[in-house]
Chain A
């Protein structure tokens, strides 16, 4: 059973950079070609942030593209998210997820990131 686990700071300062890692266990990150990040502000809906292919290709949400970078580390079975120029609006639970065709079949439990000074 594939498991995903997000890790990173729970509190970051405004104008700073959020850096999260998603560790994949119970299987190889090569089990799927695509991996994504999704976020959910408290009490609100889901927002897709971006995706990465094992080969390194990426695509991002148009609204976040200027601030987002997703990378993959196949040797350590993980992938990462970097989001800069943070504001309070970036406060959310951040999920990593595995793609299955055009859906997400495995999700991490999520990690709350609060943007505050």
Chain B
């Protein structure tokens, strides 16, 4: 089973700053199967990025995804107040889905 490790666990930044979130897989994976979600308290996760780098419908272009092999990155170019939330990466592998443990993006 492939394990996804997200870092950092918590990221403290200010509005307007750039956020870089990491998701590392325990073995090489296809980017086609890597997804990012945003979750706010009391809400269901929201699909942000699929296929490692494709923004979902309605997602602002300040969100971008990149990476390949074992290392994937979610970048938020200029943080808006509504971006402070928990972010999860997710992988499809061998007919199953795995989530990373999440990165909490908090206001500094």
Residue positions of A touching B, CB distance < 8 A:
36, 45-48, 51, 59-62, 95, 100-105, 107-110
Q: With contacts A61-B96, A107-B44 known, is A46 near B50, CB below 8 A? A: no
Interface residues of B, CB < 8 Å — how many? Answer: 25
The closest CB in chain A to the CB of B34 belongs to A102
The 6 A-B pairs of least Cβ separation, nearest first, read A107-B44, A102-B92, A48-B97, A103-B35, A103-B50, A46-B99
Residues from chain A with a CB closer than 8 A to the CB of B33 are 102
The closest CB in chain B to the CB of A104 belongs to B47
Q: With contacts A62-B1, A101-B50 known, is A45 near B101, CB below 8 A? A: yes
16 pairs from A and B in contact (CB 8 Å cutoff): A45-B100, A45-B102, A48-B96, A48-B98, A59-B96, A62-B96, A100-B50, A101-B50, A101-B51, A102-B32, A103-B35, A103-B90, A104-B37, A104-B45, A105-B56, A107-B44
**Interface residue from A51, A62, A101, A107 paired with B45 (Cβ < 8 Å):** A107
